[in-house]
Structure 1
């Protein structure tokens, strides 16, 4: 696809996702510096996903705070890796000062990251580490997330944690976080439970997880699944739907990640055991601070807390943040306390009784 066609594709993507209007492309260009800093933001999901609910508005707000007179950031979201590559190519053509990208397919994005580097445009990897000459990286410790999920699952399984059988519902194989999460989970699960089935969920798509879980139930039997380690909340929702459709009773414990509102409500209702809470504001703050510094030609040593290596690049300045387990008994002291959700948001009329039982009262 030509550069011009790519720009059209991004403009179309912006319109579809309800992000900045086409006129926002005109703000700031390479070398404008200072208050003319132009920032491109590419996310892998919008709408009901965590990227639409939390990341996008937080990024836009933090950019406005750090650079109040800068043009509005150009923000685009897509679940398609080819479209995301076209979006990055278009940002390079536009000559933005810096790009924040959460890569759908880090390997596929490598050539565009290299093109940005040649054009003198630093790229900050957000949440997912893309390949190529990345200038900075901010995320959460993936091994810790996997460990939290594995430890919680064992606790929920009780006596069945000794030799019981579980299903691993991992994320997309193309996402390096998937292997990172799995590695952390297996560090506590190996030698304690049997892994009856393990799946890498193509595109992190819930419909694929539903199909895989249905297959696991058919292969292992309704009574042969003592727990499910689902890598995130959207996969957990699909797993639970498949279990309920197969009339599996009682539901085995299911893990999650991202603390999505519907997942928190499932936890209150007793349908999902736990989720992993990651402070998106803290992640956004570090990312935007890095991006603004790099866009202005400044070092990020005071922002990064260490370095990481990708498959292609060594010693990338990085900040890895902690994560927290959320179960029904800790919702109030984590998500509500931090202002992520209010009790009224969580406790719909249908959940009022369960909320009272969980101590979720104003």
Structure 2
């Protein structure tokens, strides 16, 4: 009995620290009968349909937008090194995001700095989100272990503490995904405005080809950036799903059982565990999925985005066509190589997540089996 309570104590205390990155911890589950859900995010007016985690592989495509947008911005800056361009909004158009209409180069610098800041600040937010997601399964297991084995007086003392811990982790995870999403949405609006203003900028015989190429780069960058916005929206939405599952399907049933003395005997505990275990698997799966997606994005950002976008500032200073051609070849090669590398990484992480379904189901199912055997 002492070893059981020692295990509970370790679970209650140990979940307050983040675990090191380990791809073997990614998991999926077999609860494929879960329906899709439709929700509206608080940061945009977009309504998104969320697939059950085992079917949702869209993030693997969305994450490719990160390295691609950084390299496309570099290509745009190489073009702008040939000549600057005054931006001309259409009559009556109110500029909201571009700071200097007199210089395309200045606007590209504004975009580069905004992206770099967004990438850097997202790292801190994402670390906190991962930390919260990694705590959730440990708190869930601590609660199940208490229901399974602890005397009623110990349950009444420790279970509320465990519920507060898991709720706090869920709330924190949901909260910290929002600022990064807001920043990325804001940059998306800046890019859309640049596309709009370039389309209304008049061309001459001398700059016609230049403007055509500039419009193409601006549209490509805006499109690729929107993939990142959708990825960050997915992070935020997954955190919200996890939070809702915990509050409505784990904490509330346990609180109700405590109010009605639902843990008095083995039969009551077994009945309650049979209801809690399926949702516990879903919560574990959902938090693991978000942890895995954010962790993969962090690797991609560190390897291909944060430092690279800062290095691109020198592209505006290229003085000759030979230097421009060399830089363009480097950037196009980077797009190809990085896209392949990132796609493989995302696929490996997703496959690792999906590979441990049976292990997760077995682990949680043991709580009910042990209780029935007691």
Say whether the fold is shared (TM-score over 0.5).
Answer: no
* TM-score, normalised by the number of residues in structure 1: 0.24
Q: Determine which structure has more spread, i.e. the larger CA radius of gyration.
A: 2
Higher strand share: 1
* TM-score, normalised by the number of residues in structure 2: 0.23
> Using CA pairs below 8 Å that are at least 6 residues apart, which structure has the higher relative contact order?
2
Higher helix share: 2
